[in-house]
């Protein structure tokens, strides 16, 4: 390993180990610090309530599903009684979470999306949360297209399955193509909020788009006018 790379890795490891959200995740039993991103969004907008049906896209390693599970449990328990439905999906496998239905597969594939619809068994969805992110190539135009494709799939799924008052929380990245994704959200939802949780690192281009109240098919594309 080159000396410069060693310095960079040591600096990253130092920052990671001293990150308050990493320490909190270890202390509270979450699989990653990402749990606190969803927690902050939830507490800001009151999205998650016991009894809901929630779909977690890009769920591995499972921190968001853990947070959802605790929100649906009496006194925030990590196991035992659960009032609500959580269906998690990811290309990667993850260790099971009590009460969470996990589907492994690539959401970009029709067969996998069909399995997710089957798991819903006709139930409308209250909330879709998507932490999906592609493997980035470092080529801005190509990476922007990959990010946009995943966001578009999450929006399409949400428009088909959300309740009229339902919501989508979706990861996006500032940079090439971001304004088009905001436009897509404004065309697809009655209320749109960009959110940068404190748990999202300052150096990261990551942000989240929140859409509440999916527009009907006749509204989509005309921005509600």
> C-alpha distances in angstroms, 215 versus 55, 127, 186, 188?
19, 15, 9, 5
Quick check: 47 and 14 in contact, CB under 8 A? no
CB atoms within 10 A of CB 70: 20
In 3D space, the residue among 63, 36, 69, 60 whose CA is nearest the CA of residue 197 turns out to be: 36
Q: Is 171 a catalytic residue?
A: yes
SS3 94: coil
d(CA 43, CA 54): 16
For 75, left (φ over 0), alpha (ψ -120 to 50), or beta? left
To the question of whether residue 143 is assigned a binding role by annotation, the answer is: no
Question: Residue 12 annotated as binding?
Answer: no
* Residue 202 labeled ligand binder: no
To the question of whether residue 131 is assigned a binding role by annotation, the answer is yes
Two structure tokens written together for 196: 């940068």
The catalytic position among 6, 171, 203, 218 is 171
Rounded Cα distance between 172 and 154, Å, is 11
- Is 64 annotated in some ligand binding site? yes
Classify residue 78 by its DSSP letter. Answer: S
The residues carrying an active-site annotation are: 171
Which residues participate in the annotated binding site for S-adenosyl-L-methionine? Answer: 62, 64, 90, 106, 131
Which residues participate in the annotated binding site? Answer: 62, 64, 90, 106, 131
């Amino acid at each position: 390993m080159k000396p410069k790379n060693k310095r960079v890795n040591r600096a990253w490891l130092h920052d990671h180990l001293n990150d308050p959200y990493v320490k909190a995740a270890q202390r509270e039993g979450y699989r990653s610090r990402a749990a606190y991103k969803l927690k902050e969004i939830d507490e800001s907008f009151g999205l998650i309530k016991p009894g809901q049906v929630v779909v977690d896209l890009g769920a591995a390693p499972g921190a968001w599903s853990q947070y959802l599970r605790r929100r649906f449990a009496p006194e925030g328990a990590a196991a035992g009684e659960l009032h609500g439905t959580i269906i998690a999906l990811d290309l990667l496998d993850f260790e099971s979470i009590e009460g969470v239905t996990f589907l492994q597969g690539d959401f970009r594939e029709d067969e996998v999306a069909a399995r997710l619809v089957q798991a819903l068994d006709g139930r409308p969805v209250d909330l879709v949360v998507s932490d999906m992110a592609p493997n980035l190539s470092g080529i801005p135009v190509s990476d922007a297209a990959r990010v946009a494709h995943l966001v578009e799939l999450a929006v399409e799924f949400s428009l088909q399955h959300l309740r009229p008052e339902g919501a989508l929380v979706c990861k996006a990245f500032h940079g090439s193509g971001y304004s088009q994704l905001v436009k897509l959200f404004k065309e697809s939802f009655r209320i749109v909020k960009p959110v940068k949780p404190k748990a999202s690192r300052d150096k990261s281009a990551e942000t989240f788009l929140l859409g509440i109240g999916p527009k009907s098919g006749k509204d989509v594309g005309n921005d509600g006018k």
